[in-house]
Structures are given as C-alpha cells and as structure tokens.
Amino acid sequence: MMTRFAAALGAALIAAAPLVAHADAHVTIDQHMFMPATIIVHPGEKVIWMNKDSDVHNVTSDDDGKSFHTPLLDTGESASLSFATPGTFGYHCSVHPDMTGTIIVR
C-alpha cells in the first residue's frame, strides 16, 4: 500500500514540476546600435538579430569573424546563431565597426 502511495506521489510531483523552456534572445539593430548591447543566454539558446535600421548591418565576431558572422541584413531581415559553449563573445558590425555588442553564455 505504501509503495503505491509513494509511486503516485512521485508521479504527481514530476507532473507538477515546472518545465524549463529555453527562449530565444532577441537583439534589435536600430539607430546604428545593437539593443541590448549585452545579452546573456544559456548554452544552446539562439540569439536572433533583427535589423530595423535603414542601413545594412551584420554581426561579426571580434576575432575577425572566425567564430561567427552573419550575412548583410537589409531592413526587416534577421539572422540567428546558437551558442553552445559558455563564455563571453564580443561582436561588431563589419560595415559600421563602432557598433559593438557582447554575448555572455552561462
């Protein structure tokens, strides 16, 4: 009798446990800025950049694009990248190098 109760209680607790959903992180490109400039994500989550500016932009890692880069994004276009490894990753727009951002994966 106690075994059935323990099994039922265990099943109820598992069913009641909240699911941890990983959401995509969004960065808006506008007014020659990445907003937010720094974003924190968990390993495996996607970062999506949406260009709402009137100029073309891209996302290029600070190691001359060796780690990651996107194609040029026209107004209304977006690009996404997933980050699997914890760390801090700086990036910029190669067309407008004064536009910078940071992705923190932890």
Give the structural domain span for 60.
23-105
CB-based burial, 38-57: b 16+ in 10 Å, e otherwise: ebebeeebebebbbebebbb
For the chain, how many structural domains are there in total? 1
What is the signed CA dihedral for 92, 96, 98, 103, rounded to 10 degrees?
-20
> Would you say residue 2 lies in a domain?
no
Model confidence pLDDT, tens digit, residues 46-94: 999 999 999 999 999 999 999 999 999 999 999 999 999 999 999 999 9
Predicted structure pTM score? 0.79
> Would you say residue 87 lies in a domain?
yes
CATH number for the domain harbouring residue 39 = 2.60.40.420
Rounded CA-CA distance 98/15 in Å is 49
Contact 27, 89 (CB under 8 A): no
> Would you say residue 7 lies in a domain?
no
